Copies of this chain bind each other. A is one copy, B any other.
Amino acid sequence: MVIATESVQEVCASAKRAARTLATLDTAVKNAALEAVAKALQASTREILDANGLDVAAAREAGISAALIDRLTLDRRRIDAMAAGVREIAALPDPVGELLEELRRPDGLTIRKIRVPLGVVAVVYEARPNVTIDAAALCLKSGNAIVLRGSSSAAHSNSVLTAIAARAAESAGVPRGAIAHLSGGHRDELVELATQSRYVDLIIPRGGEGLKTALADHATVPVIYAASGNCHVYVDSAADLEQAREIVLNAKVQRPGVCNAAETLLVHRDVAADFLPVALAALREAGVELRGDERTLEYAAAVEVAPANAADWDTEYLALTLAVAVVDSLEDAIDHIAAHGTGHSEAIVTRDAAAAHRFELDVDAACVYVNASTRFTDGAEFGMGAEIGNSTQKLHARGPIGLRELCTFKYLVEGDGHVRS
A residues apposed to B, CB below 8 Å: 20, 23-24, 103, 105, 109, 111, 116, 118-119, 201-202, 216, 220, 222, 224, 240, 243, 246-247, 249-251, 254, 338, 356, 360-362, 364-373, 375-377, 381-383, 393-396, 398-399, 408-421
Contact = CB atoms under 8 A, between A and B. Distances in A.
B254 A417 contact: no
By CB atoms of chain B within 10 A, which of A338, A366, A410 has the most? A410
A105 B408 CA distance: 26
B394 A408 contact: yes
Given A220-B216, A394-B119, A414-B372, A247 B408 contact: no
A394 B111 contact: no
A369 B410 contact: no
21 contacts: A23-B364, A24-B361, A103-B382, A118-B395, A240-B417, A246-B417, A247-B418, A249-B419, A251-B419, A254-B421, A356-B414, A360-B412, A365-B410, A368-B410, A370-B415, A371-B417, A372-B418, A373-B415, A376-B420, A396-B396, A398-B408
Given A222-B395, A396-B395, A368 B20 contact: no
Contacts of A364: 20, 23, 116, 119, 410
B410 A372 contact: no
B254 A413 contact: no
A372 B338 contact: no
A104 to B, nearest CB: 10
A371 B408 contact: no
A395 B398 contact: no
A216 B219 CA distance: 10
A111 B369 CA distance: 9
Given A222-B395, A395-B202, A368 B420 contact: no
Given A103-B383, A394-B119, A399-B411, A254 B419 contact: yes
Nearest to A108: B372
Contact of A410 (B366, B409, B421): B366
A220 B240 CA distance: 42
Contacts of A368: 410-413
A398 to B, nearest CB: 6
Given A105-B383, A372-B417, 5 more contacts: A105-B381, A111-B383, A372-B418, A373-B419, A398-B410
Report the 6 A-B pairs with minimum CB-CB distance, sorted nearest first. A372-B415, A250-B419, A243-B417, A372-B418, A394-B408, A375-B420
Given A105-B381, A395-B202, A246 B419 contact: yes
A151 to B, nearest CB: 26
A371 B415 contact: yes
Given A201-B394, A411-B382, A375 B111 contact: no
B250 A420 contact: yes
B419 A375 contact: yes
A202 B362 CA distance: 20
